[in-house]
Structures are given as C-alpha cells and as structure tokens.
C-alpha cells in the first residue's frame, strides 16, 4: 500500500512549480501519446480529493480531468448529495497522461507518476480521499482489495499535514456507472449515491464513520 507521508523529490515545490514539472514530464511512455498533461483540477486546498484512473479522450484534448461523460456523471452524483465540485473538490488521476485506447494504466506507469500525485495530496491537504475504481484503490490501499468488496467503506491513514486521520473511501468509477445506467435500489448508481451521502455526512459532521485502519507497512485491514 502507498505511504501517503513518504518524501518525494518534489516536496520543495509549490503548486505552480509542480504543474510546470508535470507539463515537461517524459518519465514514462505515456508521454508519447498525449496531447496534454492532465494535472489535477479544483480548489487548493480542498476538503475532498478524488483520484480517478487516467485521462480519457476529452480530458486529453482539454487538459482537464473528468470533463467527458464520466465527469458529467460524477458532478451530477456529487451535486445530488450537496457536494459542489467547483468549491469543495479537487480531482486528479493515477496517471496524468492518457493511456492509448483508454486502456488501464500499467502499474509501472502509475508508480512513475505517483510521486507527483503524492506532492499534490500534500499541497491539496484533503480531509477525505475518494478512490474511483480499481487502479486508484490498488495504488493507495493495496493490490489485495477489489472495488466491489470495499466500495463505500471507510479506511483511514495518519497524515503529517493534519492531526485528524485522513479518511479514505473507494467508490465505483463513473465510467462503470455509465455502463450500468440503472438507478434502481441496489444498482451501482444507487449504491454510489449512498456512499457519497456518507461523505457529505462526514463533511457536515452529522455522523462519524466506523472505519478500517491501514498501517503504512501493513496490508491488513481490521474493523473497529
């Protein structure tokens, strides 16, 4: 699993400096296929940070994350529970350059890009981290977890930028929700709305979650 407190070569950079480094990056082969490097987008700092998989065709053309159909659905789901994407959310991806044919990013590509992502997390200082789909789930919480089993569950990790733990929740990826368009009770979209309501409740301090603790060096998750 990813130690969110680990040092990177970019810890001395502010946000604007980090963006410049991103834009020149050719550290993995995804740089060959991109039109734009898609750096994260949103308020800095922000209470909620969302990590998706990778830029799609529209994101690559515009240079912004989640502006395609998946992004529109994500915004709709966030606003359905009263979360404002523009004011409360910062959105990034496991990789900042579009994988060809929208394939899943390779683990080596994610690991190469993850140092930049860690610096973004340190700068954005979220209280809540939402992981969309399997690649970001596995990057942050570990390879042993699958999205279907752990979506909607709270995890936590101590972080150095605040005294409270960072709350982490995996969610279905909006692209999966587009392929499963039913809104009936028990459907993936219905479940995601329930999950996002828990996020809103935590933000409003209406309820504290029962959560799992993930130690930096441990892959075990135990409820308490």
Is 51 one of the binding residues for ligand SF4 (CB under 6 A)?
A: no
Q: For ligand SF4, which is the closer residue by CB, 4 or 199?
A: 4
The CA distance from 94 to 112, in Å, is: 10
The CA distance from 217 to 223, in Å, is: 17
Q: For ligand SF4, which is the closer residue by CB, 92 or 202?
A: 92
Of 18, 28, 137, 139, the residue at the interface with ligand SF4 (CB under 6 A) is 28
How many residues sit in the footprint of ligand SF4 (CB under 6 A)?
14
CA distances from 201 to 121, 155, 162, 215 (A): 22, 16, 20, 25
Nearest distance from C-beta of residue 120 to ligand SF4, angstroms: 11
The CA distance from 211 to 12, in Å, is: 33
Question: Which DSSP string corresponds to 144-171?
Answer: T--HHHHTT-EEEE--TT-SSPEEEEEE
Pairing of strands 128-132, 89-93: unpaired
Is 43 one of the binding residues for ligand SF4 (CB under 6 A)?
A: no
Nearest distance from C-beta of residue 8 to ligand SF4, angstroms: 12
Nearest distance from C-beta of residue 153 to ligand SF4, angstroms: 28
Pairing of strands 166-171, 154-157: antiparallel
Q: Which helix (H) or strand (E) holds 129?
A: strand 128-132
Q: For ligand SF4, which is the closer residue by CB, 36 or 193?
A: 36
Of 25, 44, 81, 203, the residue at the interface with ligand SF4 (CB under 6 A) is 25
Is 112 one of the binding residues for ligand SF4 (CB under 6 A)?
A: yes
Residues in contact with ligand SF4 by CB under 6 A are: 22, 25-28, 30-31, 37, 95-97, 109, 112-113
């Amino acid at each position: 699993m990813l130690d969110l407190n680990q040092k990177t070569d970019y810890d001395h950079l502010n946000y604007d400096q980090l963006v410049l480094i991103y834009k020149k990056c050719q550290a993995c082969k995804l740089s060959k296929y991109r039109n734009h490097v898609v750096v994260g987008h949103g308020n800095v700092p922000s209470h909620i940070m969302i990590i998706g998989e990778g830029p799609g065709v529209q994101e690559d053309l515009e240079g912004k994350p989640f502006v395609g159909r998946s992004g529109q659905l994500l915004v709709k789901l966030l606003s359905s529970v009263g979360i404002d994407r523009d004011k409360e959310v910062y959105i990034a991806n496991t990789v900042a350059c579009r994988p060809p044919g929208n394939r899943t990013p390779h683990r080596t590509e994610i690991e190469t890009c993850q140092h930049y992502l860690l610096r973004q997390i340190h700068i954005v200082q979220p209280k809540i981290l939402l992981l969309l789909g399997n690649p970001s789930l596995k990057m942050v919480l570990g390879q042993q977890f699958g999205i279907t089993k752990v979506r909607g569950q709270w995890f936590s990790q101590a972080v150095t930028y605040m005294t409270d733990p960072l709350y982490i929740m995996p969610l279905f990826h909006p692209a999966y929700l587009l392929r499963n368009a039913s809104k009936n009770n028990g459907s993936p979209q219905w479940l995601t709305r329930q999950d996002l309501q828990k996020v809103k409740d935590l933000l409003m301090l209406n309820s504290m979650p029962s959560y799992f603790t993930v130690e930096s060096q441990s892959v075990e998750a135990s409820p308490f």
